[in-house]
Amino acid sequence: MPVAARSCEEPIVNVLFQVAGCLPPADALAIWESAVRRERIDLDVLERVRWRSRAAADLAAAVGCRSDSGPESSFLVLMREIGVDVHQQVWVDGHPLDGLIGRRLGVQIDGYAHHSSPRDRRRDIQADARLAVRGYTILRFDPWQIDNDPHLVQQTVLDAIAQGLHLSPQPRATSGHRARSGVHPTPSPDPA
């Protein structure tokens, strides 16, 4: 986009174009999504720009407004690299999951600001327990893992998918009487 010769500011479209060419895709996507989230540019505008580079065009096609943070954007890039579809900001049991893979594999990206106190940690543990009894598996990653050990993040997700943790559980066959708690009572020994 043309800029006046004495202008001290670049239009956001130019900045995003430069970001696309200078940074790795995960970092660039985080910046693009931040610009959308902060309402510096609208998704409709990004879609209509005739980008002069493949990197910018790819980012324009990938950018969304559901990531709450840069690490969430970076996580999406890692999942796209291995062909895993992630639904973002899905509400389950009254709480949002940063990502849901399939029907039962939840992902939380734990940044330091919102997970630093003991109270926050207890809240997360309680939410994980409620989801576990509803048949969900929750994988938690922190920004350091996403940025510095992306292979571990990708492999962990692939291992969970290989185990079928993303699928809805199959109904169990029941035989006869079952206790209310779902636990079969142990018969008492015969008092002889």
Q: Say which residue the tokens 């980008």 belong to.
A: 51
**pLDDT, tens only, 29-57:** 888 888 887 888 888 888 889 999 999 99
Q: Are residues 148 and 106 in the same domain?
A: yes
Q: Are residues 23 and 59 in the same domain?
A: yes
Q: Are strands 87-92 and 105-109 parallel, antiparallel or unpaired?
A: unpaired
The pLDDT assigned to 33 comes to 83
Q: Are residues 49 and 104 in the same domain?
A: no
Please tell me the pTM assigned to this model.
0.67
Q: Are residues 53 and 146 in the same domain?
A: no
Residue 135 lies in a domain: yes
Residue 170, Ramachandran bin (φ over 0: left; ψ between -120 and 50: alpha; else beta): beta
Output 175 or 133, whichever has higher pLDDT: 133
Q: Are residues 92 and 50 in the same domain?
A: no
Number of domains in the chain: 2
**Which of 65, 89, 104 delimits the end of a domain?**
65
Q: Round the average pLDDT of the chain to a whole number and report it.
A: 84
Domain that holds residue 159: 67-168
Residue 180 lies in a domain: no
Q: Please give the DSSP secondary-structure letter assigned to residue 140.
A: E
Alpha-carbon radius of gyration of the chain: 23
Residue 43 lies in a domain: yes
Query: Do the Cβ atoms of 55 and 27 come closer than 8 Å?
Result: no
Residue 179 lies in a domain: no
Q: Tell me the CA end-to-end span of the chain in Å, nearest whole number.
A: 93
Residue 74, Ramachandran bin (φ over 0: left; ψ between -120 and 50: alpha; else beta): alpha
Token representation of residue 190: 């015969």
Q: Are residues 162 and 89 in the same domain?
A: yes
Q: Are residues 86 and 162 in the same domain?
A: yes
Q: Are residues 155 and 113 in the same domain?
A: yes
On the CB side of 151, CA atoms within 13 Å amount to 0
136 CB contacts (<8 Å, ≥6 apart)? 92, 104, 105, 106
Q: Are residues 84 and 162 in the same domain?
A: yes
**pLDDT, tens only, 3-34:** 666 667 888 999 999 999 999 887 888 888 88
**E strands within the chain?**
87-92, 95-101, 105-109, 137-141
Asked whether the predicted pLDDT for residue 84 surpasses 70, the reply is yes
Residue 96 lies in a domain: yes
Residue 42 lies in a domain: yes
Query: Do the Cβ atoms of 71 and 109 come closer than 8 Å?
Result: yes
Q: How confident is the model over 152-181, as a mean pLDDT?
A: 81
Residue 185 lies in a domain: no
Query: Do the Cβ atoms of 11 and 45 come closer than 8 Å?
Result: no
Q: Are residues 80 and 149 in the same domain?
A: yes
Residue 4 lies in a domain: no
Q: Are residues 100 and 128 in the same domain?
A: yes
Residue 98, classed as helix, strand or coil, is strand
At 118, which CATH number?
3.40.960.10
Rounded CA-CA distance 79/89 in Å is 15
Asked whether the predicted pLDDT for residue 191 surpasses 70, the reply is no
Q: Are residues 61 and 80 in the same domain?
A: no
